[in-house]
Protein backbone atom coordinates (compact mmCIF):
# COMPACT_ATOMS: atom_id res chain seq x y z
CA UNK A 1 0.00 0.00 0.00
CA UNK A 2 2.85 2.35 0.87
CA UNK A 3 4.51 1.84 -2.53
CA UNK A 4 1.23 2.49 -4.32
CA UNK A 5 0.69 5.64 -2.27
CA UNK A 6 4.20 6.87 -3.03
CA UNK A 7 3.64 6.39 -6.76
CA UNK A 8 0.33 8.22 -6.53
CA UNK A 9 2.00 11.23 -4.95
CA UNK A 10 5.03 11.37 -7.24
CA UNK A 11 4.44 10.17 -10.81
CA UNK A 12 1.38 9.22 -12.81
CA UNK A 13 0.96 8.12 -16.42
CA UNK A 14 -2.18 9.36 -18.12
CA UNK A 15 -4.14 7.48 -20.73
CA UNK A 16 -4.29 10.34 -23.24
CA UNK A 17 -0.65 10.27 -24.28
CA UNK A 18 0.51 12.50 -21.43
CA UNK A 19 2.39 11.91 -18.20
CA UNK A 20 2.16 13.65 -14.84
CA UNK A 21 5.18 14.35 -12.65
CA UNK A 22 4.84 15.65 -9.09
CA UNK A 23 7.31 17.79 -7.14
CA UNK A 24 5.65 17.76 -3.73
CA UNK A 25 8.74 17.54 -1.55
CA UNK A 26 12.34 18.71 -1.41
CA UNK A 27 14.71 18.76 -4.39
CA UNK A 28 17.70 16.65 -3.31
CA UNK A 29 20.87 15.33 -4.95
CA UNK A 30 20.28 11.58 -4.68
CA UNK A 31 18.20 8.85 -3.04
CA UNK A 32 20.45 9.15 0.01
CA UNK A 33 19.08 12.62 0.76
CA UNK A 34 15.46 11.70 0.04
CA UNK A 35 14.07 11.39 3.55
CA UNK A 36 10.49 11.61 2.33
CA UNK A 37 8.83 9.64 -0.47
CA UNK A 38 7.75 12.91 -2.09
CA UNK A 39 11.34 14.19 -2.44
CA UNK A 40 12.69 14.27 -5.99
CA UNK A 41 16.25 13.88 -7.29
CA UNK A 42 17.88 13.79 -10.74
CA UNK A 43 18.26 10.02 -11.06
CA UNK A 44 14.59 9.45 -10.25
CA UNK A 45 13.57 12.06 -12.82
CA UNK A 46 15.91 10.57 -15.43
CA UNK A 47 14.38 7.13 -14.96
CA UNK A 48 10.87 8.54 -15.15
CA UNK A 49 11.57 10.50 -18.34
CA UNK A 50 13.11 7.43 -19.97
CA UNK A 51 9.74 5.73 -19.68
CA UNK A 52 7.69 8.59 -21.12
CA UNK A 53 9.94 9.78 -23.94
CA UNK A 54 7.07 10.15 -26.39
CA UNK A 55 4.67 11.94 -24.06
CA UNK A 56 3.85 15.51 -23.13
CA UNK A 57 4.46 16.26 -19.46
CA UNK A 58 2.22 17.87 -16.87
CA UNK A 59 4.39 18.95 -13.94
CA UNK A 60 2.68 19.69 -10.62
CA UNK A 61 4.76 21.65 -8.13
CA UNK A 62 4.28 22.32 -4.44
CA UNK A 63 7.83 22.56 -3.17
CA UNK A 64 10.02 24.85 -1.11
CA UNK A 65 13.01 23.96 -3.29
CA UNK A 66 16.29 22.40 -2.25
CA UNK A 67 19.58 21.75 -4.02
CA UNK A 68 20.36 24.20 -6.85
CA UNK A 69 22.70 21.71 -8.52
CA UNK A 70 20.05 18.98 -8.48
CA UNK A 71 17.46 21.44 -9.78
CA UNK A 72 19.72 22.48 -12.66
CA UNK A 73 20.22 18.83 -13.62
CA UNK A 74 16.45 18.36 -13.63
CA UNK A 75 15.98 21.57 -15.64
CA UNK A 76 18.40 20.32 -18.30
CA UNK A 77 16.72 16.92 -18.47
CA UNK A 78 13.32 18.56 -18.89
CA UNK A 79 14.69 20.82 -21.62
CA UNK A 80 15.98 17.76 -23.42
CA UNK A 81 12.61 16.01 -23.25
CA UNK A 82 10.90 16.08 -26.63
CA UNK A 83 7.34 16.43 -25.35
CA UNK A 84 5.68 19.68 -24.37
CA UNK A 85 6.13 20.63 -20.72
CA UNK A 86 3.25 22.31 -18.86
CA UNK A 87 3.80 23.27 -15.23
CA UNK A 88 0.95 23.69 -12.76
CA UNK A 89 1.95 25.42 -9.55
CA UNK A 90 -0.39 23.69 -7.13
CA UNK A 91 0.64 25.62 -4.04
CA UNK A 92 4.20 26.97 -3.96
CA UNK A 93 7.21 26.93 -6.27
CA UNK A 94 10.01 28.41 -4.18
CA UNK A 95 13.77 28.72 -4.44
CA UNK A 96 15.21 26.07 -6.78
CA UNK A 97 11.71 24.69 -7.47
CA UNK A 98 10.94 28.01 -9.17
CA UNK A 99 13.58 27.20 -11.80
CA UNK A 100 11.99 23.82 -12.51
CA UNK A 101 8.65 25.55 -12.95
CA UNK A 102 9.92 28.36 -15.17
CA UNK A 103 11.89 26.10 -17.52
CA UNK A 104 8.62 24.63 -18.80
CA UNK A 105 6.88 25.65 -22.02
CA UNK A 106 3.80 26.81 -20.11
CA UNK A 107 3.43 27.80 -16.46
CA UNK A 108 -0.06 27.93 -15.00
CA UNK A 109 -0.72 29.47 -11.58
CA UNK A 110 -4.13 29.51 -9.90
CA UNK A 111 -4.77 32.80 -8.13
CA UNK A 112 -4.21 31.25 -4.70
CA UNK A 113 -0.68 29.99 -5.36
CA UNK A 114 2.80 31.44 -4.92
CA UNK A 115 6.20 31.72 -6.59
CA UNK A 116 9.27 32.70 -4.57
CA UNK A 117 12.78 33.66 -5.68
CA UNK A 118 15.74 34.52 -3.44
CA UNK A 119 19.51 34.45 -3.18
CA UNK A 120 21.07 31.02 -2.78
CA UNK A 121 22.16 29.90 0.68
CA UNK A 122 24.40 27.23 2.17
CA UNK A 123 25.84 26.17 5.51
CA UNK A 124 29.62 26.33 5.76
CA UNK A 125 32.53 26.47 8.16
CA UNK A 126 36.23 27.04 7.68
CA UNK A 127 38.88 29.72 7.32
CA UNK A 128 38.67 33.02 5.45
CA UNK A 129 39.80 31.50 2.17
CA UNK A 130 37.19 28.77 2.40
CA UNK A 131 34.46 31.29 3.22
CA UNK A 132 35.42 33.36 0.18
CA UNK A 133 35.24 30.23 -1.96
CA UNK A 134 31.77 29.49 -0.59
CA UNK A 135 30.66 33.02 -1.48
CA UNK A 136 31.95 32.54 -5.03
CA UNK A 137 30.06 29.25 -5.35
CA UNK A 138 26.86 30.89 -4.14
CA UNK A 139 27.22 33.70 -6.66
CA UNK A 140 27.75 31.19 -9.48
CA UNK A 141 24.70 29.23 -8.33
CA UNK A 142 22.68 32.45 -8.53
CA UNK A 143 23.85 32.99 -12.09
CA UNK A 144 22.58 29.50 -12.93
CA UNK A 145 19.17 30.37 -11.49
CA UNK A 146 19.10 33.69 -13.33
CA UNK A 147 19.88 31.97 -16.63
CA UNK A 148 16.67 29.95 -16.24
CA UNK A 149 14.65 33.01 -15.22
CA UNK A 150 15.95 34.91 -18.23
CA UNK A 151 14.37 32.39 -20.56
CA UNK A 152 10.97 32.90 -18.94
CA UNK A 153 10.80 36.70 -18.75
CA UNK A 154 7.60 38.49 -19.66
CA UNK A 155 7.80 40.93 -22.55
CA UNK A 156 9.64 44.11 -21.63
CA UNK A 157 11.10 42.78 -18.36
CA UNK A 158 14.88 42.83 -17.95
CA UNK A 159 16.89 40.20 -16.14
CA UNK A 160 18.37 42.97 -13.99
CA UNK A 161 14.90 43.74 -12.66
CA UNK A 162 14.39 40.09 -11.72
CA UNK A 163 17.88 39.96 -10.21
CA UNK A 164 16.97 42.86 -7.93
CA UNK A 165 13.81 41.03 -6.87
CA UNK A 166 15.82 37.87 -6.23
CA UNK A 167 18.30 39.76 -4.06
CA UNK A 168 15.43 41.14 -1.97
CA UNK A 169 13.70 37.73 -1.75
CA UNK A 170 10.31 38.14 -3.39
CA UNK A 171 7.08 36.23 -2.91
CA UNK A 172 4.82 36.53 -5.96
CA UNK A 173 1.11 35.93 -6.17
CA UNK A 174 -0.04 34.65 -9.55
CA UNK A 175 -0.91 38.17 -10.67
CA UNK A 176 2.49 39.48 -9.58
CA UNK A 177 4.38 36.59 -11.16
CA UNK A 178 2.65 37.26 -14.49
CA UNK A 179 4.07 40.79 -14.52
CA UNK A 180 7.63 39.46 -14.62
CA UNK A 181 7.42 35.97 -16.12
CA UNK A 182 5.46 34.18 -18.84
CA UNK A 183 2.90 32.85 -16.42
CA UNK A 184 -0.76 32.13 -17.14
CA UNK A 185 -3.25 32.87 -14.38
CA UNK A 186 -6.00 30.36 -13.68
CA UNK A 187 -8.97 30.66 -11.38
CA UNK A 188 -8.34 29.04 -8.01
CA UNK A 189 -10.16 25.75 -7.63
CA UNK A 190 -8.80 24.73 -4.25
CA UNK A 191 -6.52 25.84 -1.47
CA UNK A 192 -2.79 25.43 -2.15
CA UNK A 193 -1.74 21.80 -1.96
CA UNK A 194 -0.40 20.58 1.35
CA UNK A 195 3.09 21.43 2.47
CA UNK A 196 4.23 21.05 6.06
CA UNK A 197 4.96 24.35 7.76
CA UNK A 198 8.43 23.07 8.64
CA UNK A 199 9.22 22.77 4.91
CA UNK A 200 8.45 26.43 4.23
CA UNK A 201 11.27 28.99 4.37
CA UNK A 202 11.38 30.88 7.68
CA UNK A 203 10.67 34.08 5.77
CA UNK A 204 7.35 32.77 4.42
CA UNK A 205 4.49 35.13 5.23
CA UNK A 206 2.39 33.95 8.18
CA UNK A 207 -0.73 33.80 6.00
CA UNK A 208 0.96 31.25 3.73
CA UNK A 209 2.02 29.14 6.72
CA UNK A 210 -1.56 29.07 8.00
CA UNK A 211 -2.87 28.03 4.58
CA UNK A 212 -0.22 25.30 4.37
CA UNK A 213 -1.10 23.97 7.83
CA UNK A 214 -4.80 23.78 6.95
CA UNK A 215 -4.13 22.14 3.59
CA UNK A 216 -1.73 19.65 5.22
CA UNK A 217 -4.41 18.48 7.62
CA UNK A 218 -6.87 18.00 4.77
CA UNK A 219 -4.26 16.05 2.79
CA UNK A 220 -3.58 13.86 5.82
CA UNK A 221 -7.27 12.95 6.03
CA UNK A 222 -7.32 12.14 2.30
CA UNK A 223 -4.33 9.80 2.70
CA UNK A 224 -6.00 8.07 5.65
CA UNK A 225 -9.02 7.42 3.45
CA UNK A 226 -6.76 6.02 0.70
CA UNK A 227 -5.14 3.64 3.18
CA UNK A 228 -8.54 2.44 4.38
CA UNK A 229 -9.68 1.86 0.82
CA UNK A 230 -6.46 -0.03 0.02
Per-residue pLDDT tens over the stretch 36-52: 777 899 999 999 999 88
Name, of 31-35, 176-180, 208-212, the range with top average pLDDT: 176-180
Supply the pTM of this predicted model: 0.77
Find the helix packing angle between 128-150 and 159-168, rounded to 10°: 130
Instruction: Kindly tell me the burial class for residue 106, based on how many C-beta atoms sit within 10 Å of its own C-beta (0-12, 13-18, 19 or more).
Output: middle
Q: Is the CB of residue 85 less than 8 Å from the CB of residue 151?
A: no
SS3 content of the chain, % helix, strand, coil (to 5): 45, 20, 30
Task: Identify which of 121, 148, 126 has the alpha carbon closest to the alpha carbon of residue 137.
Answer: 121
The CATH number of the domain holding residue 184 is 3.90.226.10
The predicted-structure confidence for 132-187, as pLDDT tens digits, reads as follows 888 898 999 999 999 999 999 999 999 999 999 999 999 999 999 999 999 999 98
Task: Identify which of 217, 218, 198, 219 has the alpha carbon closest to the alpha carbon of residue 209.
Answer: 198
The pLDDT confidence band at residue 6, using thresholds 50, 70 and 90, is very low
- What per-residue string of b and e applies to 141-177 under the rule 16 or more CB within 10 Å gives b? bbebbbebbeebbeeebeeeebbebbeeebbbebebb
Task: Identify which of 10, 149, 16 has the alpha carbon closest to the alpha carbon of residue 75.
Answer: 149
How many domains does the structure of the chain reveal? 1
Q: Which domain, by its residues, includes 221?
A: 2-229
Q: Is the CB of residue 70 less than 8 Å from the CB of residue 43?
A: no
Percentage of residues of the chain with pLDDT beyond 90: 57
pLDDT for residue 209: 53
Neighbours of 9 (CB within 10 A): 17
Amino acid sequence: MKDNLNKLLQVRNLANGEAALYFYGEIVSSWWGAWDAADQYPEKIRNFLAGVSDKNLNLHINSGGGSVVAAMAIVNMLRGHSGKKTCYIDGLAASSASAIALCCDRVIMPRNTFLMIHRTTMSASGNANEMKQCAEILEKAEECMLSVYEGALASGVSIETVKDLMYKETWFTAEEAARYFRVEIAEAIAEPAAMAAKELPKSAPEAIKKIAALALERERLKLLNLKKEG
